[in-house]
Structure 1
Amino acid sequence: MATSNFAEVLRVQALRRADREALVDGDARWTYAELDAEVDRHAAALLAAGVTAADLVGILARNTATYVMQLLALSRIGAVAVPLNWRLHATEQSYVISQAGIAALLYDDDFAGVAEALPGLRVLVANGSSVVDGAQRLEALLAGQPRGIRVADAEKAPGDVHRLLYTSGTTAHPKGVIHTCGNVAANHRAQVLELELTQQDRILVSAPLFHVSGLEAPGLAVFVAGATMVLTPTFKAADIAAIAERERITGMVLAAQILFGMLDLDPVPDLSALRYLLFAGVAPSVRRKVKARLPHVRLIDTFGMTECCNGVTYMDAAHEDSKLGALGAPFPGVHIRIVDESFREVAPGVEGEIIVRGEKISPGYWRDEETTKRTRRDGWFLTGDVGRIDEDGYLWFVDRRTDLIKSGGENIASAEVERVIAQHPDVAEVAVIGVADPQWDEVPKAFVILHPASRATGEDIRAHCLAHLAKFKVPKYVQIVESLPRNDSGKVLKKSLRETS
């Protein structure tokens, strides 16, 4: 009987596409038949270690084939996976472990010190040789499982919890976002449809698997399509370009910084197999440069959040140019509205808060009814982002509600000022915040990273803004910096900028 257990996908693919390559990690490769068999062995090993279907299980590791197998094995036995952000300090990890109620932890050698400092874990499994007190070695557990062993897929309903993903926590402690089995299934259907995935695709996963971009864009949906997942733990532009060339990668997610780096590589890697790049937050001017270098590649802007099980809009190929700057139209099964402060839907083109609902949307936060209630209303998830929807139904991002600068009674969208500054030829990156002002309440301040060898000054940036923006939107202050503070997803921490300004 079919259920909503994602691991069942492997059973189907192992039968229908047994010899097709499913997973690549460096020089190691697994067909679908081999991957399914390895997941059975990992599932049996976890059961032997003492993990049960009732457990929440943390994974503290970099992107490896073992990580993917453990995710699939946890799904197979019916346990709840909690991919942990390995960039966090041990004290922060302890908070997540405690708040989630994690009973078991699977960890790599790199994080043995962190694992040793974590309290209250019933089961510890070391994915390498660094075995802390009380831990069992995965290698030994696997050795006890005969090849050919089969573990039945646990029956799961669409509303059952599949995993927890903890948000970056830029304003408070991390929050555990619930992804149900139904959320994940809906996202996988949407990814296959929107990215037009087939068994011929070879998708690179470089975003960490503790992040929704690594897991779900398209992430594990690769296996639904019968395609090939290629893993890498690196974020370096040159390394990713080399892997994309060697493995004939057809699609990948890239952070803006990596995209900039790939543009500057010499010689240019052979990316003739690449058919799409998925990204967010890239200025139109940069996008034009990418298109000029890679005219055959579909460039996909997106809007999404962990609470939405990744994206809810992708820009379609037909409107890449005519809707430049928009973030696409909603996925099938996703509904998006723009509402005013009274929660009334506004007319096309009018700015307001972006709210969403649909099968992909998380039902709430783990053990946090207050935040869940505050961010849900009448079945809608309140994103806290400001945007508009045009006459054709395409979403345009304006700003985070908290990033609106209130100056002299006017609202200034920091994203708008950033867009203009990013068009200056000497600017590599920019972040704009509001700072206190005795006359205007707040005024814009820009933090600018220049391209190497640039001699542009703050006044040059201001002059550029004066030529493209209303005077009240022009930053009163421009600070040239070498770097910007970021969270674990690569997003600029404007809170940190405000605290130091």
Structure 2
Amino acid sequence: MTKINSGNNMNLPLIDRAKQHGNKIAIATTEGSFFYHDLLQTSAKIATILLNNIKDLQEQRVAFLIPSGFQYVATQWGIWRAGGIAVPLCVSHPQPELDYVIADSGASIIIAHPSFEALLKPIAQERNLRFILTSETLPEAVSLLPEIDITRRALIVYTSGTTGKPKGVVTTHQNIQAQITSLVSAWEWTSEDRILHFLPLHHIHGIINVLSCSLWVGAECDMLTKFDANIVWDRIIEGNLTVFMAVPTIYVKLITAWEAADRNSQNKMSDGCAKMRLMVSGSAALPVQVLEKWRNISGHFLLERYGMTEIGMALSNPLHGERLAGYVGKPLPEVEVRLVDESENIVSPGKSGEIQVKSPGVFLEYWQKPEATAKVFRDGWFCTGDFAVVENDNYRILGRMSVDIIKTGGYKVSALEIEEVLRTHLNIQECAVVGVLDSEWGERVCAALVLQSGSNLTLKTLRSWAKERLATYKVPTQIITVEDLPRNAMGKVTKPSVAKLFSAL
């Protein structure tokens, strides 16, 4: 085989490590399998196109919209190898949201899969940006690629915008490396691992936890363009996956598909799960009843972890040892975590406080928002805005300070705690609890409910039932029933949208 120049970038550890695994499969898709040397060669060619006869992009932002697959990964690596900052766009976002991210990040180049040309080309033309399609012919020769210091900015991922306009979270190559190595150590990733990837690739969960961790160790990442419960079960049945990561809503869909299958198929599904070494849930709270159902189906007690766009992962249940339902474990390697009260005093065990994190994986800044950046740091600690409590030496998340903590009648109430109780009601399939402004109580506890098929539930009946399980001030004072809860691309319920349902009544 003729050796093709795959560029240099010896000082980018993720790229450098890939050279050790050249003849191993890196990415498998429905279109075929791609080796690590394919990834190195193609990303070097994409970097050459991006450079366009200049030596270094010098942190130019490159926005790209590509379905999950080899082209996505090669493009991401190509941007990094050319010295650019990768700005991944969401395949399900409408044009105005894409335009916002492109404008806010100050992207000078847009790369798009042909299926998104009609969506993005008008934005590129209006803003006079360079526009590249992934279908364009790649060059035969590869440019000399720039040396990239790991302290350079590498990635801008936009938050879901639950408290206002989305902010661009900037991470450096060094931040990304720290996030990866912490998880590789804690979850014992090796080159023998094989993971199925169907999570959104504009989100930290899909970019770091699944894709980058697998490529760091020389493992195989099998990529689906979108989640389909039946296709995922077929892949699990094949029995060659070792690691599986998903969000709670996906586990719910997989449970539904398992329950609809015949006994023989169910056995094959369960056997496929049993062959894996690790199954993880994250990005949203995992209802205990979902955990228990999945445990019965798969034999796996799902490993819950806690993280966010700004910090990567911070807390995790153990790979080996006891995992506790409803808890997210302890700090990951190289991560410091503390809980503080409103006066910034460290709280004692059993008392709730805001989670603050310090680690090499914590992000650099919010893109071009110095005041917002300064606001979330205290003496080097990142203030997450999430409340938690330490019980039995494990962290339990109580919710967002601004969204999941409801202040009613002088009490601070955890919406997640109430939701967990409501989900045990036989007629409730799913729910979201929010605080709605009230002149007497400050906020009223309100619940949006998705009921089981054919069920009916009145507020009076629910309150009577809930008072036997919750303090009176935690019991919802108003309910509405909906077919589905509003969610973002990661399946996380968008609480502001839920609150608006009550405001409209």
Q: What TM-score does the superposition give when structure 1 sets the normalisation length?
A: 0.90
What is the CA deviation profile of residues 248-270 of structure 1, one whole-angstrom value per residue up to 9, with x for unaligned ones?
A: 22222212222111112213323
Which of the numbers 310, 313, 328 marks the counterpart of 1:311?
313
State the shift of 1:192 in Å: 1.2
Distance in 1 between the 2:162 and 2:55 partners? 32
| Higher deviation after alignment, 176-185 or 421-430 | 421-430
| TM superposition shift of 1:247 | 6.8
Does residue 150 of structure 2 align to residue 158 of structure 1? Answer: yes
SS at match of 2:307: strand
Contact 1:168–1:489 at 8 Å: present in 2 too?
A: no
Deviations 1:315-349 (A, max 9, x none): 1144544x221101111111111001111111112
Secondary structure at the counterpart of residue 44 of structure 2: helix
Q: Which amino acid aligns with 1:127?
A: T
Q: Decide whether the 8 Å contact of 1:337 with 1:356 is kept in 2.
A: yes
Shift of 1:159: 2.0
Q: Is the 8 A contact 2:56 2:146 kept in 1?
A: no
Question: Counterpart in 1 of 2:374?
Answer: 373
Number of residue equivalences: 478
Q: Which residue in 2 is equivalent to 1:398?
A: 398
**Does the Cα contact within 8 Å between 2:251 and 2:290 map onto a contact in 1?**
no
Q: Within 5 A, what are the aligned runs for 1:295-374?
A: 295=299, 297-308=300-311, 310-321=312-323, 323-374=324-375
Aligned counterpart, 2:130: 123
Q: Where does residue 135 of structure 1 map in the other structure?
A: none
Q: Is the counterpart of residue 105 in structure 1 residue 97 in structure 2?
A: no
Q: Residue 53 of structure 1 aligns with which residue?
A: 57
Within 1, Cα distance between the matches of 2:35 and 2:461?
A: 56
Separation in 1, partners of 2:322, 2:292: 11
Matched, 1:32 2:36: yes
Letter of the aligned partner of 1:73 in structure 2?
G
Measured in 1, the distance between the counterparts of 2:313 and 2:150 equals 20
CA-to-aligned-CA distance 1:94-148 (integer Å, 9 cap, x gap):
22212211011111123222212213243211124xxxxxxxxx2x2x1xx23xx
Query: 1:210-359, aligned counterparts within 5 Å?
Result: 210-246=202-238, 248-265=240-257, 266=261, 267-268=265-266, 269=269, 270-280=272-282, 281-295=285-299, 297-308=300-311, 310-321=312-323, 323-359=324-360
Q: Tell me, which stretches of 5 or more residues in structure 1 are unaligned?
A: 129-137
More off after superposition, 45-54 vs 370-379: 45-54
Report Cα offsets for 1:263-310 as digits up to 9, x if no partner: 122133233432222213111121011111111x351111110001x3
Q: Which residue of 2 aligns with 1:132?
A: none
Cα distance, 1:46 vs. partner?
3.2
- AA aligned to 1:58 is A
Amino acid corresponding to residue 273 of structure 1 in structure 2: K
- Separation in 2, partners of 1:422, 1:40: 50
Verify the 8 A CA contact 2:422 2:428 in the aligned structure 1.
yes
8 A Cα contact 1:429 1:449, kept in partner = yes
**Structure 1 residue 6 and structure 2 residue 14: aligned?**
yes
Paired amino acid for 1:46: L
CA contact (8 A) 1:191 1:218 kept: no
Structure 1 residues 294 and 457: alpha-carbon distance in aligned structure 2, compared to 1, 3 A threshold:
farther
Rounded Cα–Cα distance in structure 2 between residues aligned with 1:188 and 1:341: 32
Residue in structure 1 matched with residue 26 of structure 2 by the alignment:
22
> Judging changes above 3 Å, is the alpha-carbon distance between structure 1 residues 454 and 499 closer, same or farther for their aligned structure 2 residues?
closer
Distance change >3 Å, CA 50–CA 423, structure 1 → 2: farther
| CA distance in structure 1 between the partners assigned to 2:109 and 2:387 by the alignment | 39
Gap regions ≥5 residues in structure 2: 1-8
- The partner residue of 1:192 within 179, 184, 188 is 184
Q: Aligned-pair distance for 1:152?
A: 5.1
Alignment partner, residue 4 of structure 2: none
The residue identity in structure 1 corresponding to 2:281 is F
Partner residue in 2 for 1:133: none
Give the Å deviation of 1:390.
3.4
- Per-residue CA deviation, residues 64-96 of structure 1 (Å, 9 max, x unaligned), is 210111111222222111101233332222222
Counterpart residue identity of residue 200, structure 2: P
**For residue 416 of structure 1, what is the amino acid of its counterpart?**
E
Q: Could you say which residue in structure 2 is the equivalent of 1:449?
A: 450
- With normalisation by structure 2, the TM-score equals 0.89
Is 2:186–2:319's contact at 8 Å kept on the other side of the alignment? Answer: no
Aligned to 2:3: none
Tell me how large the CA RMSD over aligned residues is. 2.1
TM superposition shift of 1:460: 4.1
Q: Residue type of the partner of 1:117? A: P
Change over 3 Å in CA distance of 1:247–1:33 after alignment to 2: farther
Change (3 A) 1:153 1:337: farther
The sequence identity of aligned pairs, in percent, is 27
Please give the alpha-carbon distance, in whole angstroms, between the structure 2 residues aligned to 1:255 and 1:381.
24
Q: Distance between the aligned counterparts of 1:344 and 1:395, measured in 2?
A: 18
- Give the Å deviation of 1:232: 0.8
Moved more, 32-41 or 335-344: 32-41
Q: Which residue of 1 aligns with 2:432?
A: 431
- Tell me which residue corresponds to 2:479: 478
Cα distance in 1 for partners of 2:121, 2:39 equals: 30
Asked if the contact 2:239/2:273 (under 8 Å) is kept, the reply is: no
SS of the residue 2:181 aligns to: helix
Q: How does 1:176-187 map to 2 (within 5 A)?
A: 176-187=168-179
Aligned-partner SS, 2:180:
helix
Distance 1:109 1:298 in 2: 41
Give the deviation of 1:457 after TM superposition: 4.4
SS of the equivalent of 1:124 reads strand
Secondary structure class of the residue paired with 2:366:
coil
Amino acid in the other structure paired with 2:496: K
* Change over 3 Å in CA distance of 1:42–1:204 after alignment to 2: same
